[in-house]
């Protein structure tokens, strides 16, 4: 098995201390993403919670596509929200982004994220058969 890290196009440049994705290749490929927040490819932050959810999901989809995968490859999604009032927006936007796929999922309501303007962080693990 081999391990590689990458930063696919369509997602903002990450801080120097992490990559957007880690891929384990062997008899199949396992993709692990960094937590994605509502930062657009141009580096700006989406203005509110629902827009940040939509952008974080768009970032996830760009990372999947950059690694030859799509929503159906996701086996686990973890979502961190700073406000439980965002749950309906999360459900709506996640349903649209996942195209009918429903992987294992964990949702946490947290006191805060890396910066006060961030309202959501989403990470996924995905798998593609060899």
Residue 60 has pLDDT above 90, yes or no: yes
What CATH number should be reported for the domain holding residue 59? 3.30.1330.40
pLDDT at 54: 98
pLDDT score of 16 more than 90: no
**Euclidean distance between CA atoms 22 and 12, whole angstroms:** 16
Overall number of domains in the chain = 1
On the question of pLDDT at 130 being above 90, the answer is no
Q: Is 130 exposed, middle or buried (0-12, 13-18, 19+ CB in 10 A)?
A: exposed
* pTM reported for the whole predicted model: 0.91
What range defines the domain where residue 74 resides? 2-128
């Amino acid at each position: 098995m081999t391990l590689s890290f990458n930063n696919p196009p369509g997602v903002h440049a990450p801080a120097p201390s992490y990559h957007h994705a880690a891929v384990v290749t062997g008899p199949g490929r396992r993709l692990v993403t960094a937590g994605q927040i509502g930062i657009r490819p141009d580096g700006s932050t989406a203005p509110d919670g629902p827009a940040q959810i939509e952008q974080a999901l768009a970032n996830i989809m760009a990372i999947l596509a950059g690694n030859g995968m799509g929503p159906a490859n996701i086996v686990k999604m973890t979502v961190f929200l700073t406000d439980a009032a965002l749950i309906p927006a999360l459900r709506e936007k996640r349903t649209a982004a996942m195209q009918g796929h429903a992987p294992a999922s964990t949702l946490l309501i947290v006191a805060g994220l890396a910066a006060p303007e961030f309202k959501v962080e989403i990470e996924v693990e995905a798998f593609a058969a060899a």
